[in-house]
C-alpha cells in the first residue's frame, strides 16, 4: 500500500484518495485485469459479452485509465505541446489576438483528432523550454507567436534541428497563410478602389517571413499593373501598432506633411490599425484620401473607425493543417509540400473609396 492511499474498505472521509484500478474493475466484472485492459481499449479479440460486462463495471466504479501508467507502458502520450511566444514583459492583454485565435483553433483540431494540448506561453530567454518529448510530456510541438522574440525562435529552431517533432506557424517548412494569394487580393482590391500610389508597410528583413512574402507578392502585383511598388519598412522591436504609427509618421515627415500616397497595404491588421490612428491624428481622411487594408482578420478590425478591410485566413483550417502536419511528422511520414492556409478578402469601410 502506498503512502496516502486508503483501501476501498477505508473510512468514507478518505474515499477520494483511494484510486480505482483495473484490478478493481476486474474483480467486479469477474475477469482478469488484462481482459479489462483489452476490453476498455476496444480490442476486437474480446467477446462482446465480456466487453459489455467490463464496461458496465468500469462505469459503476467510475473507473478511468491512469494515463501515466498507460503512457509509461506504450511510450505514446497522445499529447501535443503548443508554445506561444510573446515579447518579454508584454502584458497578455496587449498580445496579438491573431495568435490567441490560432491557439484556439489548434486546440480544437487536436481534440478532434483525439489529442490533448499542453499550452505554454513563453517570453523570457532564460525560461524558454521545449524538451517535451524528452520529458515524455508530449509527442511533438507546435510553435507560434510573435516573430519579435528572436531568442525564442532561435531556441526552437535548434530543437528542430536536433530532430524534435515540431511544426512552426509562419515559417517556410511550417504552415502559413497563402500570402501570395492574399497580397494579390489586397492589391487588386486597393486598385479597384481607385488607389494608385500604394505604400506597403512591411519588411524584407523581419524574422517574420510572412511579411516578406506579402511585400514581394504585392510588389509583383503592382508591377503587373504598371504601378510602382513602395516599401515602408517597419521598425524592429516596437509593438505592431506602434510600427504602423511610426511608418505613417516617417512617410509624412518625408513628404512635408502632405500624403504622397493614396493607399496602404499593411503586412498585418495591428499595423494597419496603428496606421489608421496616425492618419486620423494627422487629419487625413480614411478612406477619403487614403484607403487602408490589413492582413489577418482580427476581430478589432470590425470595430475600428473606419472598420478595417482585411485578408482573413481560415482559422479552422490553420489549426487543422498545423496539427495534421505534426501528427504526420510524429508518425514518421513525409510531410510533403508546405501547406498554405486559404485566405479571403473581407472588404470594409477603410477601402470604401466611392
Contact between 15 and DNA (CB under 7 A)? no
Contact between 131 and its own copies (CB under 8 A)? yes
Contact between 31 and DNA (CB under 7 A)? yes
Contact between 37 and DNA (CB under 7 A)? yes
Instruction: Identify what 84 binds: DNA, its own copies, none; CB under 5 to 8 Å per kind.
Output: its own copies
Cα gap 167→251, rounded to integer Å: 37
Q: Look up residue 157 and give its three cell numbers.
A: 529552431
Nearest to 80 by CA among 41, 121, 111: 111
Contact between 37 and its own copies (CB under 8 A)? no
- Tell me the closest approach of the beta carbon of residue 119 to DNA, in angstroms: 23
Q: Quick check: 202 and 234 in contact, CB under 8 A?
A: yes
If the CB atoms of residues 107 and 199 are measured against its own copies, the closer one turns out to be: 107
Q: Look up residue 240 and give its three cell numbers.
A: 505592431
Q: Quick check: 315 and 322 in contact, CB under 8 A?
A: no
Question: In this structure, how many other beta carbons lie within 10 angstroms of the beta carbon of residue 226?
Answer: 7
If the CB atoms of residues 49 and 253 are measured against DNA, the closer one turns out to be: 49
**First-to-last CA distance in the chain?**
79
Contact segment (CB under 7 A) with DNA among 60-68, 151-159, 287-295, 340-348 equals: 60-68
If the CB atoms of residues 76 and 125 are measured against DNA, the closer one turns out to be: 76
Contact between 129 and DNA (CB under 7 A)? no
Cα gap 57→34, rounded to integer Å: 15
Contact segment (CB under 8 A) with its own copies among 6-14, 178-186, 260-268, 311-319 equals: 311-319
Contact between 350 and DNA (CB under 7 A)? no
Contact between 56 and DNA (CB under 7 A)? no
Q: Quick check: 323 and 106 in contact, CB under 8 A?
A: yes
Contact between 38 and DNA (CB under 7 A)? yes
Q: Quick check: 143 and 166 in contact, CB under 8 A?
A: yes
Cα gap 74→309, rounded to integer Å: 50
Q: Which residues pair with 309 in a beta bridge?
A: 293
* Residues of this chain that bind its own copies (CB under 8 A): 2, 4-5, 16, 19, 62-69, 71-72, 75, 77, 79, 82, 84, 91-95, 97, 100-101, 103-105, 107-108, 111, 116-121, 127, 131, 134-137, 163, 273, 297, 299-306, 312, 315-316, 319
Amino acid at each position: 500500500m502506498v503512502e496516502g492511499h486508503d483501501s476501498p474498505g477505508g473510512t468514507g472521509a478518505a474515499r477520494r484518495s483511494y484510486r480505482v484500478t483495473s484490478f478493481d474493475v476486474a474483480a467486479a466484472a469477474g475477469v482478469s485485469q488484462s481482459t479489462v485492459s483489452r476490453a476498455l481499449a476496444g480490442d476486437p479479440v474480446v467477446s462482446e459479452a465480456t466487453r459489455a460486462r467490463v464496461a458496465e463495471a468500469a462505469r459503476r466504479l467510475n473507473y478511468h485509465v491512469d494515463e501515466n501508467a498507460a503512457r509509461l507502458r506504450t511510450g505514446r502520450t497522445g499529447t501535443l505541446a503548443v508554445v506561444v511566444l510573446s515579447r518579454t514583459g508584454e502584458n497578455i492583454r496587449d498580445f496579438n489576438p491573431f495568435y490567441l485565435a490560432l491557439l484556439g483553433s489548434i486546440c480544437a483540431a487536436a481534440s478532434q483528432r483525439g489529442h490533448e494540448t499542453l499550452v505554454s506561453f513563453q517570453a523570457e530567454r532564460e525560461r524558454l523550454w521545449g524538451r517535451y518529448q524528452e520529458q515524455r510530456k508530449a509527442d511533438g510541438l507546435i510553435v507560434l507567436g510573435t516573430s519579435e522574440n528572436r531568442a525564442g525562435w532561435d531556441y526552437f529552431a535548434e530543437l528542430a534541428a536536433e530532430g524534435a517533432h515540431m511544426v512552426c506557424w509562419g515559417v517556410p517548412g511550417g504552415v502559413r497563410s497563402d500570402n501570395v494569394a492574399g497580397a494579390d487580393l489586397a492589391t487588386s482590391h486597393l486598385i479597384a478602389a481607385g488607389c494608385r500610389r500604394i505604400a506597403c508597410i512591411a519588411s524584407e528583413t523581419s524574422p517574420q517571413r510572412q511579411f516578406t512574402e506579402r511585400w514581394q507578392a504585392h510588389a509583383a502585383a503592382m508591377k503587373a499593373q504598371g504601378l510602382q511598388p513602395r516599401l515602408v519598412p517597419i521598425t524592429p522591436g516596437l509593438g505592431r501598432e506602434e510600427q504602423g504609427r511610426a511608418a505613417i509618421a516617417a512617410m509624412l515627415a518625408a513628404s512635408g506633411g502632405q500624403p504622397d500616397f493614396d493607399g496602404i497595404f499593411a503586412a498585418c491588421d495591428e499595423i494597419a490599425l496603428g496606421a489608421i490612428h496616425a492618419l486620423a491624428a494627422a487629419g487625413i481622411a480614411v478612406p477619403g484620401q487614403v484607403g487602408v487594408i490589413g492582413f489577418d482578420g482580427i476581430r478589432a478590425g470590425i470595430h475600428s473607425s473606419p472598420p478595417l478591410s482585411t485578408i482573413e485566413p481560415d482559422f479552422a483550417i490553420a489549426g487543422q493543417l498545423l496539427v495534421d502536419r505534426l501528427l504526420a511528422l510524429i508518425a514518421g511520414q513525409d510531410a510533403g509540400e508546405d501547406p498554405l492556409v486559404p485566405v479571403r478578402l473581407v472588404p470594409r469601410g477603410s477601402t470604401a473609396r466611392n
